[in-house]
């Protein structure tokens, strides 16, 4: 149902980005880059969690030296995150980075950019132009409207991309990030109308998980639902694996990531519910901890939507009282006392 916006394709160390490829999840290492074994440990954890690209900060010369070793041993393609220093960009490219990210807010001179383009061309390294609202120093405290901020970000993106296009360099990925969900949505809509390069989505500086998860889901979910976004990075002030888990949840909700676990549909309960459906749902959920089959299970509390959700689920429990009705592919197959329902459910699950 969801139609992705058509884009060019960019290859990042074997991971293809663009509308012809699945949306790729990426994250960043959070330990110091000179902590090579710490970085590699993070990368292995990220890869295991479903991350497909990893970005690494290289603020100093010591970091680009460490980068070369990390790239050699990394199980994921490594992207170098460059700020301020054209020298770091060239070093990272020569160290074997699969992509570099440049920030138009802090590498601005055409001469510097041309030098980086030359290095990218000779090593076939793509570039993300990563505009950050907070890095645009023309934006001043509080006094700039949302529309003007979006306009400035777009202008920055256009003039920067033009420098690459002038040199016939089209291996570009674009991103524009803000810590505000509404502005993130708007700037990416504008970028998607203006360019056909793949887009990297992210809400940045969004905060601790309890504050950041919902705005991230709103911003990235909206854009993905509008067909925009080819790689995503969720930013959380938390372990990077949590970023990958949240990215997977956002993508899954729009069928952009395969569901690998038992999915639990539960009615929210209301004044029609005769038993404690939430307690039952929690029991079912707990019992599913070890189950990695992509089955859809409904736990419902009444006859209004119970049979309908049952028809849509692989297995369903409709609990109208102490006796529960058990459904398989929408067909009633048993009436089961509430106390036995977990074991009946698991007996059926084994057959899947």
Question: What minimum distance in Å lies between the beta carbon of 285 and a second copy?
Answer: 6
Q: Using an 8 Å Cβ cutoff, are 125 and 96 in contact?
A: no
Which helix (H) or strand (E) segment holds residue 186: the answer is helix 181-194
Question: What minimum distance in Å lies between the beta carbon of 263 and a second copy?
Answer: 7
Question: What minimum distance in Å lies between the beta carbon of 224 and a second copy?
Answer: 8
Window contacting a second copy (CB under 8 A); options: 10-18, 153-161, 167-175, 181-189: 181-189
Strand, helix or coil at 344? helix
Among the listed residues 137, 289, 290, 350, the single contact to a second copy using CB under 8 A:
137
Question: What minimum distance in Å lies between the beta carbon of 167 and a second copy?
Answer: 26
Can residue 304 be called a binding residue for a second copy (CB under 8 A)? yes
- Count of residues near a second copy by CB under 8 A: 99
Can residue 69 be called a binding residue for a second copy (CB under 8 A)? no
Residue written as tokens 């952009």?
Answer: 256
Footprint of a second copy on residues 3-22 (CB under 8 A)?
Answer: none
Question: What minimum distance in Å lies between the beta carbon of 191 and a second copy?
Answer: 15
Question: What minimum distance in Å lies between the beta carbon of 184 and a second copy?
Answer: 10
Identity of the residue, 22 or 308, whose beta carbon is nearer to a second copy in the bound complex:
308
Q: Which long-range contacts (CB under 8 A, 24 or more apart) does 337-346 make?
A: 338/275, 338/280, 341/280, 341/317, 342/283, 342/284, 342/287, 345/284, 345/287, 345/297, 345/315, 345/317, 346/287
Can residue 135 be called a binding residue for a second copy (CB under 8 A)? yes
Can residue 105 be called a binding residue for a second copy (CB under 8 A)? yes
Residue 205 dihedral angles phi and psi, to the nearest 5°: 50, 35
Window contacting a second copy (CB under 8 A); options: 90-98, 107-115, 163-171, 306-314: 306-314
Question: What minimum distance in Å lies between the beta carbon of 163 and a second copy?
Answer: 21
Identity of the residue, 8 or 65, whose beta carbon is nearer to a second copy in the bound complex:
65
- Draw the binding track, 24-63, toward a second copy (x: CB under 8 A; -: no contact): ----xxxxxx-----x---------------xxxxx---x
Footprint of a second copy on residues 316-335 (CB under 8 A)?
Answer: 329-331
Identity of the residue, 20 or 146, whose beta carbon is nearer to a second copy in the bound complex:
146
Here the tokens at position 201 are 């989505």
> What sign does the dihedral 49-53-57-61 (CA atoms) show?
positive
Identity of the residue, 40 or 171, whose beta carbon is nearer to a second copy in the bound complex:
40
Identity of the residue, 72 or 165, whose beta carbon is nearer to a second copy in the bound complex:
72
Whole-number Å distance between alpha carbons of 32 and 179: 24
- Draw the binding track, 246-275, toward a second copy (x: CB under 8 A; -: no contact): x--xx--xxx-------xxxxxxxxxxx--
Identity of the residue, 81 or 169, whose beta carbon is nearer to a second copy in the bound complex:
81
Window contacting a second copy (CB under 8 A); options: 5-13, 76-84, 109-117, 161-169: 76-84
Residue 266 dihedral angles phi and psi, to the nearest 5°: -135, 135
Can residue 139 be called a binding residue for a second copy (CB under 8 A)? yes
Q: Cα separations (Å) of 1 from 201, 255, 256, 321, 341?
A: 21, 9, 11, 38, 35
Footprint of a second copy on residues 182-241 (CB under 8 A)?
Answer: 182-183, 185-186, 204-208, 211-215, 217-219, 221-222, 224-226, 235-238
Whole-number Å distance between alpha carbons of 137 and 223: 26
Here the tokens at position 162 are 């033009």
| HEC-encoded secondary structure of 122-184 | HHCCCEEEEEEHHHCCCCCCCCCCHHHHHHHHHHHHHHHHHHHHHCCCCCEEEEEECCCHHHH
Q: Which of these, 22, 37, 48, 49, lies nearest to 242 by C-alpha position?
A: 49
CA angle, corner 85, sides to 80 and 91, nearest 5? 50
């Amino acid at each position: 149902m969801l139609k992705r916006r058509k884009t060019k394709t960019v290859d990042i160390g074997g991971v293809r980005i663009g509308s012809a490829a699945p949306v790729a999840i990426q994250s960043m290492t959070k330990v110091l880059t000179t902590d090579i074994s710490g970085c590699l440990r993070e990368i292995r954890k990220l890869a295991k969690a479903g991350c497909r690209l990893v970005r690494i900060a290289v603020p100093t010369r010591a970091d680009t030296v460490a980068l070369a070793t990390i790239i050699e041993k990394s199980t994921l393609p490594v992207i170098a995150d460059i700020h301020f220093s054209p020298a770091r960009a060239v070093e990272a490219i020569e160290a074997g980075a699969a992509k570099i990210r440049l920030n138009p807010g802090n590498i601005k001179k055409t001469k510097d950019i041309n030098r980086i383009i030359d290095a990218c061309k000779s090593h076939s390294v793509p570039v993300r132009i990563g505009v950050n609202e907070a890095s645009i120093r023309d934006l001043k405290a509080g006094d700039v409207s949302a529309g003007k901020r979006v306009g400035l970000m777009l202008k920055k993106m256009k003039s920067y991309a033009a420098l690459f296009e002038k040199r016939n360099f089209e291996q570009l990925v674009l991103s524009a990030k803000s810590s505000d969900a509404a502005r993130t949505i708007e700037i990416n809509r504008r970028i998607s109308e203006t360019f056909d390069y793949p887009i990297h989505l992210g809400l940045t500086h969004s905060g601790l998980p309890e504050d950041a998860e919902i705005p991230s889901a709103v911003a990235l979910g909206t854009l993905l639902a509008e067909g925009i976004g080819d790689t995503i990075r969720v930013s959380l002030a938390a372990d990077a694996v949590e970023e990958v888990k949240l990215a997977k949840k956002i993508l899954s909700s729009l069928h952009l990531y395969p569901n690998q676990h038992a999915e639990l549909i539960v009615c929210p309960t209301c004044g029609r519910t005769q038993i404690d459906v939430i307690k039952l749902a929690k029991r079912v959920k707990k019992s599913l901890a070890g189950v990695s089959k992509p089955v859809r299970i409904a736990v419902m509390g009444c006859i209004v939507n119970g049979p309908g959700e049952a028809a849509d689920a692989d297995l369903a429990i409709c609990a109208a009282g102490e006796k529960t009705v058990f459904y398989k592919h929408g067909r009633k197959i048993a009436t089961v006392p509430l106390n036995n329902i977990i074991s009946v459910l698991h007996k059926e699950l084994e057959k899947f």
